[in-house]
Each structure stands twice: as C-alpha cells, then as structure tokens.
C-alpha cells in the first residue's frame, strides 16, 4: 500500500495587494493524490478575543491548507497587521487532530529567531481557533520561484544561509521541522527570509523511538522517511538540498508525473544534474542528496563548502528580485570609492519624512541620476525600491535600461533639441507650466478648514446620487528600482513617470503618445511615429500597459470615462510611506491608497467644487462634497484617513 503524505495545515502563504487577481490554490487529500478544494466556511469579518475583548478586522485571504485558512488581520486598537491562521473546530474534532494543533502552538510560541516567523498569540471562540503570526508582506519563496523559475547562485546562497541559520536554531532546540519546502519560507518587507508553518514539526526522539510517520511534501521527502526509518535532522537537510536544487534548476530533483515513480526515484536517489550548474553547486548537491543519512553533509559542512566560501553572497536582495533577475555585482574597490565620494558630495540632505526600511536605496546610479532630475523629479519623494510586480522585458539584458544614462542626463537641453528636431513634422508641442506646490498648498488649506470645523459624526453624509466624472488611478506598479512608476487611469490611459523625471503616457486606444521632458515641455505624437530616442521608454510604457491589463485588478467600482480632446494627466509626485501611497496629478487630483485595508481616498475638483471619493475595502465607492463633510461631519473611519492625508501633505509642503 502506498504511504500517505500529510500536508501541513498552512500549505501555502498566498500574499499580495488588492491589485493581484485572486488565486485559488488547491490542497492534496491525505488519502489520495487528487486535488480537492478545502471546504471550510468563511470566518466573520470581525474577530473578537473572548478573553481580552480585543477585536481584529479580518482582511484578505492569504493562503489555504489542509486544516486552516490564513487571513490578513488588523488589530483595531493598535492597527498592527498579522497573519492569522483560522482553524474551524469542525476540522479538528478528533482528539489526535486537536493534539496536532496544540503541538504546533506549543512548539512555535517558544521559538524566537530572526529567521523564523514570529508567533504572537492565540485564542479560540465557539467556532474557530485563531493563531496570530508575523505578517510577511513579500509572499514566499514559492511565489518567487513561480515568477522566476530559477534563481542566480548568489540569490540561492542568500536564502539558504538564512534557512540554515533557522535550522541550526531548531535542531539545537531538538525540533525537527519535517516540512521544509518553498511555500514554507516567507519573505518580509526587508527581503529577510522567515521559516514558518510548524504544523508537522516535532521534537527529536532517540533513534529507537523515532516517529515513523510519513509526513511532508512528496517532492521533498527523504528516503529514510519513505522507508519508515524515522525522521531526523538529516531528513531536514535532505529537504534543504531539494529546495536548493529546485531554486537553481527550476524543478524539484525527483519530480515526475506519477507519485509512485517520484517515490521510487527518491528511494534510489535517481536525479539529474543539469550541465548549467556550476561545479561547486553540483558537488554540494551530491553531498546533500545521499541515500545514507549519516553520509550527508551537516549544516556546518554545507556552510563550509566552497559553494558558499568561494561564491559571492549579497548582503541584501532588491525587492525586484521577487519577479525579475537582479543586477548583482560582487564588491568592487573602484565602485566602492565612487559610492563614498558620491555620498560625501550629495548624501547630506535628508527628507523630513522618516523612511521605512524598505525605502532605503543604495543604488549609486540613482543618486547621480537624482542630481540631474527636472523640476518635476526634484519634487518627488521617497520612491521605495519595490519593483516587485514586473518581470524583465523580453530580449532586454539586465544591464540595459530604456531610461537615459547618467551621461545622457547631463544635458536635458540637447535632448530637448533632439526630440524637437526629430518630431517637428509629426507631433504637436505644448508649453504648460505646472506647480505641484500650489496644489499641495491648496489641498492643505481645504483639509485644515474642513477638519477644524466639522462636527462629530458616526456616519458619512449622503453620497452623491451619481459619480462625478473625474479620472483616478485604478492600477499601479512600482518598478522604480530600475525604470519608474507606472499607473493606469480609469479612462484606460497608461502613464509612466521615469526615474530620470520624464513622463510618458499612452492613450486608451494606444494610438497617441504624450511625452513630457520637463514640467513645461510637452510633446504629443502618434504611436507609430515615436522617435528613435524614445523607443526604449516606449517599450517600457507598453510593457507596463500589458502587465497591468493582464495581472492587476481594478481597485474600485468607479465608472470608467473617456475624455476626448483633453491633454493627458501628468503625474507630478508619488510618495510611499509605511502606510500609504499618495499620487498627485497635474489637474489637482490627489489620490491616497492605504495598504493595510486597500481603501482609497480621492480628492478631485470638477467645476471647482472639491469632492472626496472614498473607496472602501470591498471596492465600493462613495463620493461626497467636501463642504458637506465640513458641515455634517463624517465617520471616524474616514476622519482618520483625512487626518493622515493632511499630515502627509503638510510634511510635503515643508520639504
């Protein structure tokens, strides 16, 4: 009889913003290989701890497993975000099932390590058990692998070192993870790896008392586990080798179309090493994937192997590496000197807004590029290095960039002359000076007046019967670590603010292109007549357009509108804090997207009457006159957001 494989309760950790199209992962039935959807009911939106009375708002689904579903959850009193594993009592009704959950809680809550998902607390009510865990916002290695298929050796070293650090800690405490796989390695905002999901973890037993249960994920099971010889630290090492192979080669080493054949390959250690692997990588894998557990490399021997000792390991990976090949270069003395000189000359000015760790930039080319930016770009603030929503452009080498090089940026005037000369016969040219500071100043005044005079209220005033026609950002993507910030407007036009300060937009029908060299130099021409100098940026713009159309969801239910005969909106500023994204446009529209619950607030001025549109977490939109809010007040939920936006605008006004 073929042994069964048991999945951990938290099999997948599916994270993502409201921009991502929802995915529906499946789970493997413990008694068969067929795919079955979990049958758990949706928990209520508000979760209350019966013991403390503390309330939590349940957010989007993060992942599904055999026993549980995991959701984003926010503590309503502190606004702290967690990943909460929700386990219905009906799924653990049998004593051994409940014992399994209790064992997971007991093991995990005592673990305190930099590279292990932090256990916060747990409680239960009449329907469910709730386990609150550290929220890792950059998904898991499974998601990175799905986007990338293979990783570079320096990246693999980066992740493996962190996994090994966690494993050494676990094994020292006598704990075996027993389900090491890509989906159980989570990545936080700072690109730090965290080992999670201790649903199958167990304390190490003496050899003659080893648990003979076959558990884990089929492709990562060690031979001794399949042969019912018990699970030891060496079995975790075997799984680690399978993880390394998968990241480097693109598929697990023993994966076949038939589970029985996979088990046969594991028992006989039958796998192939692709010729593309380096010799150190091949030798390390052969030292890990050995049939006899006692002959396998230990964790210390793995770290001492030349794969690690003679290979470059980056101190940190850029967030863009979640979906695209990063540009990784070993330390270069000449470059290091250049970085020091540049920081000495230009690195003294600091923003008054405190940056989140993810917003710290160490790309020297960006520092130099920043010196050459136009007046639009000088007003920009804190672009986080977070280009984690795009894959590399087809046929583009990692070193190539469609934006201008540092040398090209040294003369905006010559570029302007070149563009003007090339497009003289095929484009329209407009001069339209835009002042972002004036828009911010106006918004600050309106908001201060509204918040200082409005009476207390428990609900919002009546929403306008029909939505006023204004354009808003329905989709966006931050790829500023390489190219720039892209967005799609509700009228289906696409825009990109490039890192060099130039702006390009594409009409909804993809037939007309608008290009802004500075905030007062605007060119308009047919897409079929894009000058050679702009072909690189045009390629990026088109790629952004295709990506957002295929992969991102519209952020609300506001109607789409077409505005023929008008100049396109120009993105003047975009600011990312640790709580929200703010975008300011040339027509005075101000949009703020809040990460935590995906709500949005949009300021617009049709006919010079300031309107506020609020899109709630369910993507339903409501539009109010600002004067009505000032007169009648608004709900505490909206008031908190307005106060935050005012504070953010005041900080921008002081920059």
**Both tokens assigned to 87:** 């386990």
CA 461 to chain centre: 35
Of the candidates 11, 12, 18, 179, the residue annotated as catalytic is: 179
Contact 498, 510 (CB under 8 A): no
560 contacts: CB under 8 Å, gap ≥ 6: 474, 490, 491, 492
Which of 31, 34, 37 has the alpha carbon at shortest distance from 11?
A: 37
60, containing H or E segment: strand 55-64
**Both tokens assigned to 140:** 């898991």
Map 594-628 to HEC letters. Answer: ECCCCCEEEEECHHHCCEEEEECCCCCEEEEEHHH
Contact 220, 123 (CB under 8 A): no
**Both tokens assigned to 408:** 């090209």
**Both tokens assigned to 270:** 């039958």
421 contacts: CB under 8 Å, gap ≥ 6: none
Residue bearing tokens 């290979």: 311
Contact 355, 577 (CB under 8 A): no
Q: How many CB atoms lie within 10 A of CB 570?
A: 21
Could you confirm whether 236 is annotated as catalytic? no
Angstrom distance (rounded) from CA 353 to CA 381 = 9
515 contacts: CB under 8 Å, gap ≥ 6: 419, 502, 503, 504, 522, 523, 524, 525, 534, 537
Angle of helix 233-249 relative to helix 153-172, nearest 10 degrees, comes to 170
Angstrom distance (rounded) from CA 56 to CA 50 = 12
Contact 439, 591 (CB under 8 A): no
Angstrom distance (rounded) from CA 217 to CA 213 = 13
- Indicate left, alpha or beta for 501 from its phi (over 0: left) and psi (-120 to 50: alpha): left
Angstrom distances, CA of residue 45 to CA of 58, 472, 555, 617: 5, 28, 20, 11
Angstrom distance (rounded) from CA 151 to CA 376 = 37
Contact 396, 390 (CB under 8 A): no
Angstrom distance (rounded) from CA 404 to CA 488 = 23
DSSP 459: S
Does 355 appear as a known binding residue?
Answer: no
Residue bearing tokens 């670590």: 481
Question: Based on the number of CB atoms within 10 Å of its own CB, is 542 exposed (0-12), middle (13-18) or buried (19 or more)?
Answer: middle
143 contacts: CB under 8 Å, gap ≥ 6: 14, 15, 322
Which of 23, 235, 272, 281 has the alpha carbon at shortest distance from 146?
A: 23
Positions marked active-site: 179
- Binding-site residues, please? 94
- Binding-site residues for ATP, please? 94
């Amino acid at each position: 009889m073929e042994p069964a494989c048991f999945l951990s309760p938290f099999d997948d950790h599916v994270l993502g913003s409201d921009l991502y199209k929802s995915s529906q992962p499946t789970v493997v039935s413990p008694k068969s290989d067929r795919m079955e959807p979990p049958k758990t009911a949706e928990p209520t939106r508000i979760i209350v701890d019966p013991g403390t009375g503390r309330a939590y708002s349940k957010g989007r689904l993060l992942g599904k497993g055999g026993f549980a579903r995991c959701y984003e959850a926010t503590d309503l009193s502190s606004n702290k975000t967690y990943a909460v594993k929700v386990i219905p009592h009906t799924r653990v009704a049998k004593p051994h099932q409940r014992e399994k959950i209790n064992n997971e809680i007991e093991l995990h809550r005592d673990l305190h390590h930099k590279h292990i998902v932090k256990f916060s607390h747990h409680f239960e009510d009449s329907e469910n058990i709730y386990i609150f865990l550290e929220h890792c916002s950059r998904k898991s290695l499974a998601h990175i692998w799905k986007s990338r298929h293979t990783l570079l050796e320096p990246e693999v070293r980066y992740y493996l070192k962190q996994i090994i650090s966690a494993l050494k800690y676990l094994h020292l405490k006598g704990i075996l993870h027993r389900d090491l796989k890509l989906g159980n390695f989570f990545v936080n905002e700072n690109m730090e790896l965290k080992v999670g999901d201790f649903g199958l973890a167990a304390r190490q037993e003496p050899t003659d008392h080893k648990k003979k249960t076959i558990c884990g994920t089929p492709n990562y099971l060690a031979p001794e586990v399949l042969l019912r010889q018990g699970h030891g630290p060496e079995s975790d090492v075997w799984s680690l080798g399978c993880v390394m192979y998968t990241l480097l080669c693109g598929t697990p080493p023993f994966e076949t179309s038939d589970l029985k054949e996979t088990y046969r390959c594991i028992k006989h250690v039958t796998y192939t090493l692709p010729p593309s692997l380096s010799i150190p990588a091949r030798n390390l894998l052969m030292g890990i994937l050995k049939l006899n557990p006692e002959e396998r490399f230990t964790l210390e021997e793995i770290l001492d192997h030349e794969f690690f000792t003679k290979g470059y390991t980056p101190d940190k990976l850029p967030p863009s590496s979640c979906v695209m090949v990063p540009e990784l270069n070993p330390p270069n003395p000449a470059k290091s000197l250049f970085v020091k000189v540049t920081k000495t000359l230009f690195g003294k000015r600091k923003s008054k807004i405190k940056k989140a760790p993810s917003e710290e930039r160490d790309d020297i080319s960006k520092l130099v590029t920043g010196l050459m930016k136009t007046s639009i770009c000088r007003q920009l603030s804190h672009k986080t290095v977070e280009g984690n929503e795009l894959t590399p452009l087809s046929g583009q080498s990692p070193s190539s960039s469609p934006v201008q090089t540092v040398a090209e940026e040294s003369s905006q005037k010559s570029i302007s002359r070149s563009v003007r000369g090339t497009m003289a016969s095929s484009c329209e040219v407009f001069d339209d000076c835009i002042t972002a500071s004036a828009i911010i100043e106006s918004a600050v005044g309106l908001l201060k007046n509204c918040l200082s005079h409005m009476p207390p209220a428990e609900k919002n005033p009546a929403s306008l019967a029909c939505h006023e026609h204004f354009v808003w950002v329905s989709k966006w993507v931050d790829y500023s670590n390489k190219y720039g910030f892209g967005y799609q407007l509700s009228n289906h036009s696409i825009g990109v603010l490039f890192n060099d300060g130039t702006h390009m937009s594409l009409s909804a029908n993809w037939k007309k292109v608008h290009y802004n060299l500075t905030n007062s130099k605007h060119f308009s021409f047919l897409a079929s007549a894009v000058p050679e100098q702009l072909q690189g940026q045009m390629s990026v713009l088109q790629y952004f357009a295709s990506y957002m159309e295929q992969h991102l969801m519209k952020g609300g239910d506001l109607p789409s509108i077409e505005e023929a005969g008008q100049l396109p909106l120009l993105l003047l500023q975009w600011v990312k804090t640790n709580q929200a994204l703010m975008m300011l446009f040339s027509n005075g529209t101000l949009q703020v997207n809040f990460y935590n619950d995906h709500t949005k607030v949009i300021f617009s001025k049709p006919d010079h009457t300031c309107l506020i549109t609020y899109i709630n977490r369910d993507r339903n939109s409501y539009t109010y006159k600002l004067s009505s809010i000032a007169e009648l007040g608004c709900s505490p939920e909206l008031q908190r957001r307005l106060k935050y936006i005012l504070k953010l605008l005041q900080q921008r006004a002081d920059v």
